[in-house]
Chain A
Amino acid sequence: MTDVGHLIQLLTVLLLAVFVGFEVISKVPTTLHTPLMSATNAIHGIVLAGAIVVTVALFGGGGNNALVTVLAIVAVTLGAINVFGGFAVTERMLQMFRRKENKP
Chain B
Amino acid sequence: MTAMSITASLLDLVAIALFILGLHLLNAPPTARLGNRLAAVGMFIALVMVLVQTAGVGWWAIAIGTILGALIGVVAALRVKMTAMPQMVALYNGAGGGAAAAIGVVEYYVFVNSGAGALDPIVSVSLVLSMIIGAVSIAGSIIAFLKLQEVMTGRPITYPGQQVVNAFIALAIVALGVWFIASAGTLPAWGFLILLAAALALGVLFVLPIGGADMPVVISLLNSFTGLAVAITGFEINSVLLIICGALVGASGTILTVDMGKAMNRPLTNVLFGAFGSGGGSEPAAGSGGPQNVRSVNADDVAIMLAYASKVMFVPGYGMAVAQAQHSVKALADQLEKRGVRVFYAIHPVAGRMPGHMNVLLAEANVPYEQLLDLDAANAEMPTTDVALVIGANDVTNPAARNVPSSPIYGMPILDVDKSANVIVLKRSMRSGFAGIDNPLYEMPNTAMLFGDAKASVDGLTAAVKAL
Contact = CB atoms under 8 A, between A and B. Distances in A.
A50 B99 contact: yes
Nearest to B247: A17
Contacts of A68: 105-106, 109
Interface in A64-91: 65, 68-69, 71-91
A93 B363 contact: yes
B23 A35 contact: no
A36 B356 contact: yes
Given A42-B39, A54-B103, A97 B69 contact: no
B355 A37 contact: yes
B103 A51 contact: yes
Contacts of A25: 23, 248, 251-252, 255
A17 B54 CA distance: 27
B36 A51 contact: no
Contacts of A22: 251, 254-255
B65 A90 contact: no
B96 A47 contact: yes
A29 B374 contact: yes
A18 to B, nearest CB: 5
A90 B68 CA distance: 20
Given A37-B354, A41-B89, A96-B366, A30 B47 contact: no
A41 B66 contact: no
Contacts of A85: 72-74, 76-77, 88, 92, 95
B23 A24 contact: yes
Interface string A43-55: 1111111111111
Nearest to A86: B92
Contact of B106 (A34, A43, A75): A75
Contacts, number: 399
B27 A34 contact: no
Interface in B233-271: 233-256, 259
B36 A76 contact: no
Contacts of A58: 58, 106, 109-110
B33 interface: yes
B354 A34 contact: yes
A61 to B, nearest CB: 5
A39 B35 contact: yes
Contacts of B68: 73, 77, 80
Contact of B357 (A34, A73, A82, A83): A34
Given A49-B46, A72-B106, A27 B364 contact: no
Interface of A: 1-3, 7, 10, 13-14, 17-18, 20-22, 24-63, 65, 68-69, 71-100, 103-104
Interface of B: 19-20, 22-24, 26-30, 32-33, 35-37, 39-40, 43, 46-47, 50-51, 54, 57-58, 61-62, 64-70, 72-74, 76-78, 80, 82, 85, 88-89, 92-93, 95-96, 98-100, 102-103, 105-107, 109-110, 113-114, 120-122, 138, 219-220, 223, 226-227, 229-231, 233-256, 259, 347, 349, 354-357, 359-360, 363-364, 366, 368-370, 372, 374
